[in-house]
C-alpha cells in the first residue's frame, strides 16, 4: 500500500489538458496548470516516501522550457525513482482519494452548485496520470476500484492511497451488480 498527501487539489480534467494546433493539426497536451500540478505531485510524493535526496533534481524539471528537455528530465526522474526503490504496483489496484477542496475567503466551504466547488468526477484523472507518469502504475487502466471522497476543507490537499491486489485472483469480490441476476420473464398472453 502506498499512501501520501499532495498539498494541492488536482486540476479538473477540463483544465488539465489543453487543445493546441501544431502545424495545422489539432493536438492535446498537458496545460501549464497540469504541469504545475505534476511538479507539486512529485515533490509531495518524494517527501512522503522519504526520498528527499531526489528533490535536488526537481529544479531541472522546472527550468526545462522546451518539450524535449522536459521529457528528458522527466525520464531521468523516473529512472531515479525506480533506482531508489519507488514502490510499483503490478496488476489490479484500488485508488482512494480524499479531496479537501478550496475554501472561500471567509473560510467557509463553497456552496453546492457554486462554480468554486469542483465536480469530484473531474479530479481523479490528473492524479491517475501522475501515478502512471512517475511509475507507480504501468497504466491507469490497472485501477479496478476508484473511491473519491470530499473531505472537510480544513486545508487544501489531496490524500492518495494506492493498494495493489497482486494477482488477478486476489481481487476482492464486489458481488453482483444490482439487477445483473437472471430475471424471470413474464409471459404475456395475447
189 in any annotated domain: no
Closest by Cα among 134, 45, 150, 137 to 95: 137
**How do strand 93-100 and strand 143-151 relate by DSSP bridges?**
parallel
Find the mean pLDDT for residues 149-161: 82
User: pLDDT tens across 59-77, in order?
Assistant: 666 656 677 777 777 788 8
180 in any annotated domain: no
Query: Which CATH number covers residue 11?
Result: 3.30.1330.70
> Rg of the chain's alpha carbons, rounded to an integer?
20
**Strands annotated E in the chain:** 2-6, 17-22, 25-30, 93-100, 143-151, 157-164
Distance CA 66, CA 72 (A): 10
177 in any annotated domain: no
Q: Does pTM top 0.85 for this prediction?
A: no
143 close to 54: Cβ distance less than 8 angstroms: no
Distance CA 66, CA 71 (A): 9
69 in any annotated domain: yes
40 in any annotated domain: yes
Find the mean pLDDT for residues 127-153: 89
pLDDT of residue 13: 82
Cell numbers linked to 96: 482512494
More confident residue, 140 or 56: 140
Find the mean pLDDT for residues 122-136: 89
For residue 103, the enclosing domain spans: 2-170
CA atoms within 13 A on the CB side of 40: 18
Distance CA 41, CA 127 (A): 8
185 in any annotated domain: no
Residues 107-142 as b or e (16 or more Cβ within 10 Å = b): eebeeeeeeebbeeebbbbbbbbbbbbbbbbeebeb
17 in any annotated domain: yes
Q: Structurally, how many domains does the chain consist of?
A: 1
Distance CA 188, CA 190 (A): 6
181 in any annotated domain: no
Amino acid at each position: 500500500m502506498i499512501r501520501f498527501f499532495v498539498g494541492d487539489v488536482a486540476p479538473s480534467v477540463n483544465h488539465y489538458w489543453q487543445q493546441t494546433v501544431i502545424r495545422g493539426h489539432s493536438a492535446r497536451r498537458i496545460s501549464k496548470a497540469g504541469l504545475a500540478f505534476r511538479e507539486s505531485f512529485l515533490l509531495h510524493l518524494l517527501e512522503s516516501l522519504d526520498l528527499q535526496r531526489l528533490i535536488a533534481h526537481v529544479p531541472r524539471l522546472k527550468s526545462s522550457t522546451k518539450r524535449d528537455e522536459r521529457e528528458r528530465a522527466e525520464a531521468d526522474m523516473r529512472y531515479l525513482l525506480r533506482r531508489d526503490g519507488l514502490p510499483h504496483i503490478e496488476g489490479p489496484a484500488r485508488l482512494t482519494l480524499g479531496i479537501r477542496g478550496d475554501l472561500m475567503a471567509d473560510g467557509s466551504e463553497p456552496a453546492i452548485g457554486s462554480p468554486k466547488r469542483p465536480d469530484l468526477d473531474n479530479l481523479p484523472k490528473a492524479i491517475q496520470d501522475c501515478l502512471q507518469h512517475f511509475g507507480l502504475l504501468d497504466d491507469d487502466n490497472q485501477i479496478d476500484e476508484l473511491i473519491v471522497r470530499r473531505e472537510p476543507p480544513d486545508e487544501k490537499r489531496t490524500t492518495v492511497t494506492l493498494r495493489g491486489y497482486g494477482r488477478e485472483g486476489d481481487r476482492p469480490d464486489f458481488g453482483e451488480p444490482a439487477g445483473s441476476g437472471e430475471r424471470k420473464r413474464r409471459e404475456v398472453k395475447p
